[in-house]
């Protein structure tokens, strides 16, 4: 059987392939207009009966089912007015094996200006034999559910020898069944694959990532069916096969961007495999288009994280890498991961990283993708180079200057100026803004270390002050007014005295109160009650007071303490010592200031008189 298709009505319209035999009749999809040019008679030269006694010439069979009852008319209009079309209707509810005589039949010869023929509401005849000049038969009263066969033949013979397409238009009040117009069957609109081409008359376009590419057509089926059940989609190399469902593409094939491909949708009644609407098909065509993913490298710059200046928190989704609408972006730490699509960064809105690079896989809904790079840059905190710790006297006040060049200043004192003044000793900070970044800088106002009086040496009326710490050179004073560079004072009066010391920082002086004892230089321990002993019990209130006597060789002879009331009577080991000069020292600590050790030393003349 020869199969030919010459004309496509509209996008996703109803198409019919030449089915020249009754058993391969095409299903009629509703009341849609049919345009076709039949060629040949198919495999069987069927007995048609009644007005079609001359047999088949260039024929096609259609099968249709009534959806709603009413009157049915149609007009068959040859494109070429010199062409003669004959036709017949069989039914209702007959089969190809027992068609019987047609209930309407017209073989009138109507070649010329008005060559149309069919059923109308004014004719009263049901059959017109060959040679008749009555091209129309009486309309049909049809009932929902009935099935009919329509046979059309492009007659060739006598004055009619041309082959030409026809257009068939349905009329009347009845409607023909179609799964594509029945909301109980087609619950959702079918969606043609791809997107419209720039020229609406061109095939729709389905994206592929490479050209040529191996493509699995079945991947388009769910999108076309859009959730409708009991519909089948097949794919074909040409329109003829799409109309008849012949030679479907069932496995992935290599496709390109130049070939036009076709798809065909038909209903498959789950309860009635012979339902006439099962043979109704909607077809469409499409081409493949090379997907173009437009993407480019991007950059992100963020402030460093507090406490970790080499790291920042990036929102990778803010990187400008494509202008393509609907692009899908996934982010990866390495190029290898991006290529493999593994170890995706999540969440991409809070990626903590040092300066470096990440990769973004930009893809579209077709699965095409490209990989571009995002350069990550950490903006390090900008600190003041002029803001330094200051050292002041404990009672002074400092001025801190963070320096120019910052967007804003926020001090721990609440000040928002570059310079803050009147600050006592303490710890401070300032938040420095540069652009959108902030840096917290600490600064300290420290006190000068004060000098420390480490010890006092007293020898008769001479006082030596020993000092450490602070900043040399030191100044010394016995009255807090008159200062000297020497740490030695002479001619110091006996009794309570105050020693003052300050260092080169000229801060508040440190002071200590000392006692210059009344020294007895000679004793005559003979029991006469005069100068019989040395008595320093008056110093007993001093902390850690010790009175020690030595001979001229430095040998310790006697230690006076609280147990002997800080007195020496010229004995050693309960024996009188010889007349002569002896050395002594007093040591104690001044309790008022850091327990400073004080040492008083001198000599004493001892005369024993019997």
Please tell me the least confidently modeled range out of 149-153, 343-347, 452-456.
452-456
Flag whether pLDDT at 594 surpasses 70.
no
Measured CA to CA in angstroms, residue 312 lies from 301, 353, 575 at distances of 9, 6, 87
Averaged pLDDT for residues 429-458: 93
Residues 210-231 have pLDDT tens digits of: 889 999 999 999 999 999 999 9
- pLDDT band per the 50, 70, 90 thresholds, residue 250: very high
Residues 338-390 have pLDDT tens digits of: 999 999 999 999 999 999 999 999 998 777 889 999 999 999 999 999 999 99
Flag whether pLDDT at 439 surpasses 80.
yes
Percent of the chain exceeding pLDDT 90 equals: 59
Flag whether pLDDT at 266 surpasses 70.
yes
Q: Are 596 and 463 in contact (CB under 8 A)?
A: no
Phi, psi for residue 309 in degrees, rounded to 5: -65, -15
- pLDDT at position 11 is 31
- pLDDT at position 591 is 66
Residues 18-34 have pLDDT tens digits of: 457 898 888 898 998 98
Q: Which residue has the higher pLDDT, 33 or 53?
A: 33
Averaged pLDDT for residues 281-292: 92
Write a three-state SS string for 210-239.
CCCEEECHHHHHHHHHCCCCCEEEEEECCH
Flag whether pLDDT at 187 surpasses 90.
yes
pTM of the model: 0.52
Flag whether pLDDT at 286 surpasses 60.
yes
Residues 192-214 have pLDDT tens digits of: 999 999 999 999 999 898 889 99
- pLDDT at position 21 is 85
Instruction: Count CB neighbours of 266 within 10 A.
Output: 20
Mean pLDDT over all residues of the chain? 89
Q: Are 266 and 281 in contact (CB under 8 A)?
A: yes
Q: Which residue has the higher pLDDT, 19 or 264?
A: 264
Please tell me the least confidently modeled range out of 80-84, 109-113, 370-374.
109-113
Query: Could you tell me the sign of the dihedral formed by the alpha carbons of 246, 247, 251, 255, in that order?
Result: negative
Flag whether pLDDT at 552 surpasses 50.
yes
Q: Which residue has the higher pLDDT, 276 or 386?
A: 386
What the chain holds in terms of domains, given with CATH numbers, is 22-176 (2.60.120.380), 204-285 (no CATH), 298-379 (2.60.40), 390-447 (no CATH), 452-515 (2.60.40), 517-606 (2.60.40)
Distance, in Å, from the CA atom of 236 to the CA atom of 193, rounded to the nearest integer, reads 14
Flag whether pLDDT at 560 surpasses 80.
yes
Cα torsion 591, 594, 595, 597 to 10°: value is: -130
Flag whether pLDDT at 590 surpasses 80.
no
- pLDDT at position 4 is 29
Return the structure tokens found at 475.
């100044």
Flag whether pLDDT at 158 surpasses 50.
no
Averaged pLDDT for residues 395-423: 96
Flag whether pLDDT at 419 surpasses 60.
yes
Q: Which residue has the higher pLDDT, 152 or 530?
A: 152
Q: Are 285 and 261 in contact (CB under 8 A)?
A: yes
Q: Are 316 and 347 in contact (CB under 8 A)?
A: no
Q: Are 39 and 18 in contact (CB under 8 A)?
A: yes
Distance, in Å, from the CA atom of 406 to the CA atom of 370, rounded to the nearest integer, reads 41
Q: Which residue has the higher pLDDT, 330 or 581?
A: 330
Flag whether pLDDT at 116 surpasses 90.
yes
In the DSSP assignment, the letter for residue 554 is -
- pLDDT at position 291 is 82
Residues 300-350 have pLDDT tens digits of: 999 999 889 999 999 999 999 999 888 999 999 999 999 999 999 999 999
Flag whether pLDDT at 9 surpasses 70.
no
Percent of the chain exceeding pLDDT 70 equals: 93
Q: Which residue has the higher pLDDT, 148 or 111?
A: 148
Distance, in Å, from the CA atom of 499 to the CA atom of 589, rounded to the nearest integer, reads 15
Return the structure tokens found at 350.
């809070």
3-17, 40-54, 200-214, 513-527 — most confident range: 200-214
Averaged pLDDT for residues 49-77: 89
Q: Please provide the distance, in angstroms rounded to a whole number, between the alpha carbons at the two ends of the chain.
A: 169
């Amino acid at each position: 059987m020869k199969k030919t298709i010459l004309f496509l009505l509209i996008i996703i319209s109803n198409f019919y392939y030449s089915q020249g035999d009754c058993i391969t009749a095409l299903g009629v999809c509703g009341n849609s207009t049919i345009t076709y040019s039949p060629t040949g008679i198919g495999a069987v030269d069927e007995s048609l009966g009644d007005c079609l006694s001359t047999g088949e010439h260039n024929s096609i069979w259609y099968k249709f089912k009534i959806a709603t009852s009413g009157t049915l008319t149609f007009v068959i209009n040859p494109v070429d007015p010199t062409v003669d079309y004959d036709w017949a209707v069989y039914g209702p509810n007959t089969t190809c094996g027992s068609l019987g005589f047609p209930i309407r039949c017209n073989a009138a010869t109507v070649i010329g200006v008005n060559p149309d023929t069919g059923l109308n509401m004014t004719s009263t005849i049901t059959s017109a034999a060959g040679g008749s000049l009555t091209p129309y038969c009486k309309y049909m009263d049809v009932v929902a559910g009935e099935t009919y066969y329509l046979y059309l033949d492009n007659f060739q013979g006598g004055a009619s020898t041309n082959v030409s397409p026809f257009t068939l238009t349905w009329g009347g009040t009845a409607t023909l069944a179609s799964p594509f117009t029945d909301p109980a069957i087609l619950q959702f609109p079918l969606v043609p694959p791809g997107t419209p081409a720039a020229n609406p008359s061109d095939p729709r376009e389905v994206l592929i990532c490479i050209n040529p590419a191996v493509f699995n057509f079945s991947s388009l089926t769910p999108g076309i069916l859009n959730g409708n059940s009991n519909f089948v989609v097949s794919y074909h190399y040409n329109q003829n096969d799409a109309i008849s469902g012949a030679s479907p593409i069932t496995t992935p094939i290599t496709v390109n961007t130049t070939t036009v491909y076709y798809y065909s949708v038909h209903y498959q009644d789950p309860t009635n495999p012979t339902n006439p609407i099962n043979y109704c098909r909607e077809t469409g065509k499409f081409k493949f288009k090379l997907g173009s993913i437009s993407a480019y490298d991007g950059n992100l710059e963020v402030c460093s994280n507090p406490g970790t200046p080499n790291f920042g928190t990036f929102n990778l989704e803010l990187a400008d890498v494509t202008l393509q609408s609907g692009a899908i972006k996934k982010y990866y730490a390495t190029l290898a991961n991006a290529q493999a699509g593994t170890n995706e960064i999540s969440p991409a809105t809070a990626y903590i990283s040092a300066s470096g690079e990440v990769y973004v896989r930009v893809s579209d809904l077709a699965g095409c993708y490209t990989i571009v790079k995002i350069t990550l840059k950490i903006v390090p905190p900008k600190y003041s180079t002029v803001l330094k710790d200051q050292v002041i006297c404990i009672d002074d006040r400092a001025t801190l200057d963070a320096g120019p060049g910052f967007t804003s200043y926020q001090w721990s004192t609440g000040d928002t100026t570059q310079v803050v003044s009147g600050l006592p000793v303490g710890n401070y900070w300032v938040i420095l803004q540069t652009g959108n970044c902030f840096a917290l800088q600490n600064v300290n106002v420290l006190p000068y270390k004060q000098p420390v009086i480490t010890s006092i040496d007293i020898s008769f009326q001479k006082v030596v002050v020993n000092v450490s710490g602070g900043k040399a050179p030191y100044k010394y004073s016995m009255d807090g007014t008159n200062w000297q560079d020497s740490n030695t004072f002479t001619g110091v009066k006996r009794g309570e005295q105050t020693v003052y010391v300050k260092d080169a920082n000229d801060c508040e002086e440190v002071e200590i109160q000392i006692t210059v004892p009344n020294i007895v230089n000679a004793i005559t321990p003979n029991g006469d009650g005069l100068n019989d002993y040395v008595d320093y019990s008056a110093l007993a209130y001093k902390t850690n007071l010790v009175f020690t006597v030595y001979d001229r060789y430095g040998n310790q002879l006697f230690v006076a303490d609280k147990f002997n009331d800080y007195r020496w009577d010229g004995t050693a080991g309960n024996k009188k010592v010889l007349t002569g000069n002896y050395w002594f020292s007093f040591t104690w600590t001044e309790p008022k200031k850091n327990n400073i050790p004080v040492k008083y030393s001198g000599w004493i003349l001892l005369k024993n008189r019997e």
